[in-house]
């Protein structure tokens, strides 16, 4: 009896740990459905609540990511339905992306996250300012363009370059090279 | 721009939330066509989420930078500045409202008084006296540069502390026995003078400024028996001063008609139309009385025998010092009451329903004013 309880508790903890690990992928996935970061936060919270309440539904050894995405998809649909925007899912750009692609990027290891954090600190002053405005302040690219007195397209391109640089930096860090 | 760059550009727009329908359709098509773009899209989506969570966390845990502290200080100061302005504006509004309420009491005298004070067409504006060229109503102590004389210009034998030279500094009580024909407050310059009107200096038909009359044409300057006076018609109330007046002496030089049937009141420390002390002269009863009016109750506090001399201008001086009220008629203290409940208020003159009051002069001076 005690062993069964222990196993149940262990299973529950494993699910929670996985959920945290899959958090980035789930956020991106929900965004690809809803195209709204506010909906992402709400749906993600409801996904976490649902998975904590129904952790027994998950069968160990099966695809956790698929289960998580299914739950997230349902919760996102509910949130959008409450707001009368359920059509968003049907028009989603990610409709053609197969599950295996999502699964490939589902786990974002802690060391990778640490590397990304360090790389953010290492970028140039101008890039750092764009990142700060975009992600810390949550400003749109249009607003950033007005603040930095640049065109919106230039901001998009700058962000794209920064993203490439960060990706390269993280890869280099994880491969043991120093930047 | 190559296909990859364009795809990156579209993804930036997509995750910025500013992609349009056409661009979304292109992006969707590109993702559907090539597996590479699918991977790029998912990679971009997860990186976007990570960047958001990392920088959000950094923002929450990072110490406040110097520039942000400066910004915060600026906003704090700005807020304080705005609050200070708001408080100052509110205080000014409050003061203005208070002054308005004080100046125009709810007994109805004020509203009509405003109407009565409006210059009428064809009437020459009043010529102000030297003393009345100063503001109409002043709070106590607003005339520090003006000396005033309480002395007896007529040289009567006052026993009070009045200054016979006319250069005295304060009004304290009555000059004692003896007439006051020569007289007194409001004549000449005076320190502590709160209000003064010599109606002989005003044009006929006008109502001098600073006076509130309870009804239109209820009181105006007229020439009666070759004397220019303020004629207060029967059943009318004239008011002067403000609620903040505390210790003061108010004096009028007057004659009531018809003789032998005088009926008028001199209100002092009037809080409103329902709360005041009233010295009342009733010729028919040959009495001078003091009433306290408070709400619906009116209580007789003092009563003396008094008979006005025929065809004579009398000087009534009502004083309020602390909790003491006194009435002097023609220089004689005729009434004293110790037990006043409220310590401030303006003055009013009220005529009975069949009494005309003619006032040559009205003056109010602060009492117990130190040198």
**How far, in Å, CA of B222 to CA of A133, rounded?**
80
CA of A174, closest CA in chain B: separation in Å?
A: 16
| Whether the predicted pLDDT of B125 surpasses 70 | no
Q: What residues in B contact A131, CB-CB < 8 Å? A: 51, 55
- CB contact (8 A) between residue A101 and residue B39: yes
Q: What CATH architecture applies to the domain B117-130+142-369?
A: Sandwich (2.60)
| Contact in structure between A104 and B45 (CB atoms under 8 Å) | no
Q: What is the pLDDT of residues B236-257, one digit of tens each?
A: 899 998 888 989 999 999 988 8
From the CB of residue B28, how many other CB atoms can be counted at a distance below 10 Å? 18
Q: What is the pLDDT of residues B129-174, one digit of tens each?
A: 434 334 444 444 433 333 333 333 333 333 333 333 333 333 333 3
**How far, in Å, CA of A43 to CA of A27, rounded?**
9
Quote the tokens at residue B17: 């939330």
Quote the tokens at residue A142: 């249009």
Q: What is the pLDDT of residues A112-136, one digit of tens each?
A: 888 888 899 888 888 989 998 888 8
Q: Higher-confidence residue: B73 or B54?
A: B54
Q: Which helix (H) or strand (E) holds B359?
A: strand B356-366
Comparing B57-71, B94-108, B199-213, the range with the smallest average pLDDT is: B57-71
The dotted CATH code for A1-107 is 1.10.1740
CA distances from B31 to A25, A90, B15 (A): 17, 15, 15
Average pLDDT, chain B: 75
- CB contact (8 A) between residue B5 and residue A160: yes
Q: Where are the domains of chain A?
A: 1-107, 108-179
Determine the pLDDT at residue B364: 93
- Pick from A96, A116, A157: CB nearest B9: A157
For the segment(s) A108-179, the CATH number from 3.30.565.10, 1.10.10.10, 1.10.150.20, 3.90.226.10 is 1.10.10.10
Q: Where are the domains of chain B?
A: 3-99, 117-130+142-369
Q: What residues in B contact A37, CB-CB < 8 Å? A: 17, 52
- Reported pTM: 0.45
B27: nearest CA partner in chain A: A93
The C-alpha torsion from B237 through B241 and B247 to B253, rounded to 10°, is -60
- Chain B interface with A: residues with Cβ < 8 Å: 5, 8-9, 11-18, 24, 27-28, 31-32, 35, 38-39, 41-56, 58-59
Q: Higher-confidence residue: B136 or B358?
A: B358
Comparing A5-9, A98-102, A147-151, B273-277, the range with the smallest average pLDDT is: A5-9
């Amino acid at each position: 009896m005690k062993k069964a309880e222990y196993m149940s508790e262990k299973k529950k903890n494993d699910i929670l740990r996985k959920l945290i690990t899959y958090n980035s992928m789930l956020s991106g996935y929900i965004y690809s459905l809803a195209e709204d970061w506010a909906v992402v936060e709400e749906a993600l919270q409801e996904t976490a609540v649902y998975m904590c309440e129904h952790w027994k539904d998950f069968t160990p050894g099966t695809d956790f990511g698929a289960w998580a995405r299914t739950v997230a998809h349902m919760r996102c649909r509910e949130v959008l339905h409450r707001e009368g925007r359920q059509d968003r899912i049907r028009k989603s750009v990610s409709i053609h992306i197969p599950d295996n692609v999502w699964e490939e990027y589902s786990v974002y290891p802690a060391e990778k996250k640490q590397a990304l954090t360090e790389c953010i600190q290492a970028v140039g002053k101008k890039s750092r300012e764009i990142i700060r405005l975009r992600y810390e302040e949550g400003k749109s690219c249009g607003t950033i363009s007005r603040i930095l007195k640049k065109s919106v397209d230039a901001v998009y391109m700058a962000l794209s370059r920064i993203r490439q640089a960060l990706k390269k930096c993280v890869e280099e860090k994880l491969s043991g090279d120093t930047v | 721009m190559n296909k990859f760059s364009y795809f990156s550009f579209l993804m930036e727009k997509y995750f910025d939330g500013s992609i349009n329908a056409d661009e979304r359709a292109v992006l969707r098509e590109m993702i559907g066509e090539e597996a590479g773009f699918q991977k790029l899209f998912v990679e971009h989506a997860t990186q976007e989420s990570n960047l958001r969570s990392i920088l959000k966390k950094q923002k929450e845990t990072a110490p406040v930078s110097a520039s942000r502290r400066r910004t915060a200080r600026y906003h704090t100061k700005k807020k304080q500045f705005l609050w200070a302005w708001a408080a100052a504006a509110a205080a000014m509004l409050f003061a203005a409202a208070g002054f308005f309420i004080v100046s125009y009491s709810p007994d109805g005298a004020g509203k009509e008084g405003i109407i009565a004070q409006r210059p009428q067409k064809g009437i020459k504006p009043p010529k102000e006296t030297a003393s009345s060229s100063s503001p109409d109503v002043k709070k106590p102590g607003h005339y520090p540069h003006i000396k005033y004389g309480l002395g007896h210009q007529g040289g009567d034998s006052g026993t009070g502390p009045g200054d016979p030279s006319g250069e005295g500094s304060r009004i304290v009580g009555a000059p004692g026995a003896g007439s006051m024909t020569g007289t007194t407050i409001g004549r000449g310059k005076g320190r502590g003078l709160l209000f003064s009107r010599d109606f002989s200096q005003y044009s006929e038909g006008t109502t001098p400024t600073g006076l509130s009359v309870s009804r239109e044409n209820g009181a105006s300057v007229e020439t009666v028996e070759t004397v220019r006076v303020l004629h207060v018609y029967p059943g009318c109330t004239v008011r002067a001063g403000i609620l903040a007046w505390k210790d003061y002496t108010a004096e009028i030089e007057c004659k009531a008609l018809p003789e032998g049937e005088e009926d008028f009141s001199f209100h002092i420390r009037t809080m409103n139309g329902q709360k005041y002390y009233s010295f009342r002269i009733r010729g028919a009863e040959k009495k001078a009385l003091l009433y306290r009016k408070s709400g619906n109750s009116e209580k007789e506090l003092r009563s003396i025998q008094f008979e006005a001399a025929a065809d004579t201008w009398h000087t009534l001086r009502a004083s309020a010092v602390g909790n003491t009220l006194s009435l002097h008629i023609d220089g004689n203290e005729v009434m004293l009451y110790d037990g006043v409940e409220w310590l401030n208020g303006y003055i009013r003159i009220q005529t009975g329903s069949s009494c005309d009051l003619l006032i040559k002069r009205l003056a109010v001076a602060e009492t117990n004013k130190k040198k």
